[in-house]
Amino acid sequence: MSDAGNMPFVLVGLNHRTAPVEVRERLTIAAADLPAALESFCEQTESQQAVLLSTCNRVEILGCEPCDQIRATDYLSRQSGLSSSELRDHLYFKRGEEAVQHVFRVAASLDSMVVGEAQILGQLKEAYAVARASGFVKSGLDALFAKAFAVAKRVRTETMVGSSSVSIASTAVELAKKIFGSLERRSVLLIGAGKMTELALRHLRTQGVGEIFVINRTFERAAALARKFDGKALAPESMSEAAPLADIVITSTGSAEPIIRKQHAEEFMQRRKNRPMFFIDIGVPRDVEPSVNEVDGVFVYDIDDLQHVVAANTSDRTREAERAEAIVLHEVGRFRERMRELHVVPTIVSLQDSMELMRQAEIDRMRSRLGPLTVEQEAAIESLTRGIINKVLHGPITALKTAAKAQEADALVEQAERLFGISQSPKSRAKV
């Protein structure tokens, strides 16, 4: 019995290490579009269940066999508008135990741009919740994600990987410090009022920045965020007036199209009298058009540029990351053992169901011969027959569980089904 049979999971995706931001942004899927994307994926790949994770640094889909690499790649090709050949060099495809290990590493933030950052676990939980609510998670993926979240908790508890408050947002602020030397009295414009922006604001405030302006598509959200950090909320239409006042512009909007283009930057610089202006674009898709970098005095850093800062922050975490990797490997082994045992559960359930039907039939036959029985007699017959069935089944069930651990269950399952005249009913399979 192969591990692939026990763990029929397949994962396809790309991340910040395998694909540049200009490729990742072509595949980004908005939260509101996830159910439709999951339905399309399952239809095109014949997977019965799936979870889709889309963040600024990765797009990954975890499904189940018979989904294969070709069909999964074709699906992503249609989603992105890129040809399969253009995508192929950026994608990774993992199957079985390798897919399980990858999910555990992602949940534990060992595969993140910033190792140990806390956001990815929340994003993974949201992706799982959407897929489950939409009916695309059954028992197999349910068990996998329950274990992944437990592994992430164990890594956080037993290692110091997440001890420092490091995130993409904090790394963006670190980059701004490198640019200016000091952020004191620097004016900042934040465009977008999501979680990433709030994280950036928290770090900016600790650096003693001057004025803070917040712009968001929904003014109420901008106002609520600005109040928390003594900033000023502005209406979206005031961006052209506010941007030239800012030394630093940090964007994270989720917009499908760039909100700042080259002509905007040229206008900003005219009003700033050519004083340098820095854009830190942590949005995927990107909020700032790449050509903005061509304007004299304007410097644009996107999320891929943050990796240079991240590299300086990872050296102290190497030892803790190694401890975390060991935990992941151990938990993959435990999950593998559990899935092997689950492989024989349908046969065990069918065996128990078959014996129970036989027991009930024999009791009914005896009732017709013995006539009415007292309550005490009914209880005695119930106890006696159940005890016999349990003793008869103890040996076969123990043998099946032992065979599962030794990866020898397939042959024994076949023998048990032939010997007892049973088969795995849909009801039995549904319990796995």
Q: What is the CATH number of the domain that holds 99?
A: 3.30.460.30
Per the domain annotation, does 290 fall within a domain?
Answer: yes
One domain, residues 47 and 116: yes
Output the pLDDT for position 1: 36
One domain, residues 34 and 143: yes
One domain, residues 172 and 118: no
Per the domain annotation, does 311 fall within a domain?
Answer: no
One domain, residues 268 and 415: no
Give the residues of the chain that fall short of pLDDT 70.
1-5, 164-167, 309-317, 342-343, 403-411, 423-432
Output the pLDDT for position 46: 93
One domain, residues 9 and 156: yes
Per the domain annotation, does 310 fall within a domain?
Answer: no
Per the domain annotation, does 26 fall within a domain?
Answer: yes
Output the CA–CA distances (angstroms, integers) from residue 14 to 178, 256, 295, 373, in the order listed. Answer: 29, 19, 31, 69
One domain, residues 297 and 372: no
Output the pLDDT for position 314: 61
One domain, residues 184 and 289: yes
In single-letter form, the type of residue at position 71 comes to R
HEC secondary structure over the chain:
CCHHHHCCEEEEEEECCCCCHHHHHHHCCCHHHHHHHHHHHHHHHCCCCEEEEECCCEEEEEEECCCCHHHHHHHHHHHHCCCHHHHHCCCEEEECHHHHHHHHHHHCCCCCCCCCCCHHHHHHHHHHHHHHHCCCCCHHHHHHHHHHHHHHHHHHHHCCCCCCCCCHHHHHHHHHHHHHCCCCCCCEEEECCCHHHHHHHHHHHHCCCCCEEEECCCHHHHHHHHHHCCCEEECHHHHHHHHHHCCEEEECCCCCCCCECHHHHHHHHHHCCCCCEEEEECCCCCCECHHHHHCCCEEEEECCCCHHHHHHHHHHHHHHHHHHHHHHHHHHHHHHHHHHHHHHHHHHHHHHHHHHHHHHHHHHHHHHHHCCCCHHHHHHHHHHHHHHHHHHHHHHHHHHHHHHHCCCHHHHHHHHHHHHCCCCCHHHHHCC
- Domain range enclosing 34: 3-164+316-334
One domain, residues 252 and 358: no
One domain, residues 300 and 264: yes
Output the pLDDT for position 369: 82
Per the domain annotation, does 36 fall within a domain?
Answer: yes
One domain, residues 189 and 244: yes
One domain, residues 206 and 189: yes
Q: What is the CATH number of the domain that holds 286?
A: 3.40.50.720
CA-CA-CA-CA dihedral for 262, 267, 271, 277, to nearest 10: -10
Per the domain annotation, does 262 fall within a domain?
Answer: yes
Residue pair 266/274 in contact (Cβ under 8 Å)? The answer is no
Positions marked catalytic: 56
Output the pLDDT for position 233: 94
Could you tell me the pTM of the whole model? 0.75
Per the domain annotation, does 394 fall within a domain?
Answer: yes
- How many separate domains does the chain show? 3
One domain, residues 82 and 227: no
Per the domain annotation, does 44 fall within a domain?
Answer: yes
